[in-house]
Structure 1
Amino acid sequence: MSSSEPSQADNSETISPDAAAVITRARRSFAISIALLVFGFAAVAVALVYRTGGKEETPVASYAAGVLAVPAGATIISAVPSEGMFAVAYEIAGKNRLRLIDGTTGAIIRDVDFVSE
Structure 2
Amino acid sequence: MEHEPDLPDPDAPERVRRARDDAARSAEELARQWEQVVEASEFTNNDDEHDPEGSTIAYEREQVRSMLGRVKRELEALDLAAERLREGTYWTCERCGGPIDPDRLAARPTARACIGCARRP
Q: Give the TM-score taking structure 2 as reference length.
A: 0.29
Q: By percentage of residues, which structure has more strand?
A: 1
Higher RCO, 1 vs 2 (CA within 8 Å, ≥6 residues apart)? 2
Instruction: Indicate the structure (1 or 2) with the bigger Cα radius of gyration.
Output: 1
